[in-house]
Amino acid sequence: MRSSDPDLEPAAPTPAKHRSDYAQWWMRAADGAANAGRELLALAAPVECVCCGTEDFSLCGHCERAVRVLTRTPFRADGQAPALMDVNGSVILPVVAAGVYREELAQAVLSFKKHGQGQLESVLAKALGRAIKGAAGTMSGFCLVPVPTTSSAFRRRGFSPVHLMLRNLARSGSLGAGRTASILRKGGILTQGGRAAGGLPERLQALVPAHALAGGQKGLGRGARVRRVRGSMRARPMLLAPDIRGRRCILVDDVLTTGATLAEAARAVHQAGGVVVGAVVLAATRPPDVADPPAAPGASAAKGG
């Protein structure tokens, strides 16, 4: 009769063979070499998850899933942007957001803008792509116009977050029927009597009429943000940029707050001859007392064929 205690069993005549998940030794060796390489890389350039601090990942699997959950349902966010609303409450510029600027999404966006890690770029670009699809609907032949970053921010970061994400989507073929048209740049415009010249629609004229002011917008209120960006953008000369005259354009930015930046971009695109049909942002902020936005799988900034 065999004992139930394995310690009392007689020794095996031959030593037990190593068991693992690999059928071949070279697969086990390759996996070991890969693990050693990751450990060496972590020693040379330590990295932590930007959300939870897990080592060796700029965005760990758990937090990456959280970002996907926060951006899986694009929604209309223009109602939370006072600079994009008319005096009677109607929407001047419809905006579709990939997600609400909070929790893991907010931390990932901030870290991406500061450092631009590749893993963050890929995850956030996919979220932006879903919002673009929601905004464009069945429209074809449209232009995606990225909102330019300030010169000081570009010098500090060395890149433009929105341009990086659009380039990522273009490489993967995820832009669909749209194409990127980088036509905007920071810089003052000519004004007449404090209003932008150039035959703009009356409602767009009311958005951004004055001159540019230097500096960022973090910590500014609604009125200060509007004053800060007035007249701050213009289109590049046609010889240096795609011709958007008569083309339907969707503006693309990273974070929506009051909407002042998108309003200024819309004015500049219209002055260059483009037809602004909407905007897309990666994340939208909101007042603390506003409830979560309702699910809107079919949210669109514009419809067209």
- Listed by start position, the domains of the chain span 22-57, 73-284
Measuring CA to CA, how many Å separate 24 from each of 27, 30, 31, 103, 268? 6, 10, 11, 44, 62
pLDDT confidence of residue 42: 55
Residue 65 corresponds to which tokens in the numbers above? Answer: 């899933």
pLDDT confidence of residue 117: 77
**Residue for token pair 């032949």:** 141
The full length of the chain comes to 305
Tell me whether residue 301 is exposed, middle or buried, using C-beta atoms within 10 angstroms of its C-beta: 0 to 12, 13 to 18, 19 or more.
buried
pLDDT confidence of residue 76: 92
Residue 283 corresponds to which tokens in the numbers above? Answer: 């994340």
Sign of CA dihedral 24, 28, 31, 33: negative
Taking the C-alpha atoms of residue 219 and residue 175, their distance in angstroms, rounded to an integer, is 33
Residue 60 corresponds to which tokens in the numbers above? Answer: 């760990």
Residue ranges of E strands in the chain = 75-76, 95-100, 143-146, 179-180, 184-186, 191-192, 195-196, 233-235, 248-256, 275-284
Q: Find the radius of gyration of the CA atoms of the chain.
A: 25
Measuring CA to CA, how many Å separate 284 from each of 9, 24, 123, 151, 255? 67, 51, 17, 23, 6
User: Which class is 73-284 in CATH?
Assistant: alpha beta
Tell me whether residue 21 is exposed, middle or buried, using C-beta atoms within 10 angstroms of its C-beta: 0 to 12, 13 to 18, 19 or more.
exposed
pLDDT, averaged in runs of 10, over the chain (305 residues): 60 58 68 65 67 80 91 90 80 92 93 83 94 92 91 80 93 87 70 35 44 40 50 76 89 93 92 93 73 48 48
pLDDT confidence of residue 190: 33
Closest CA to 235 of 285, 276, 295: 276
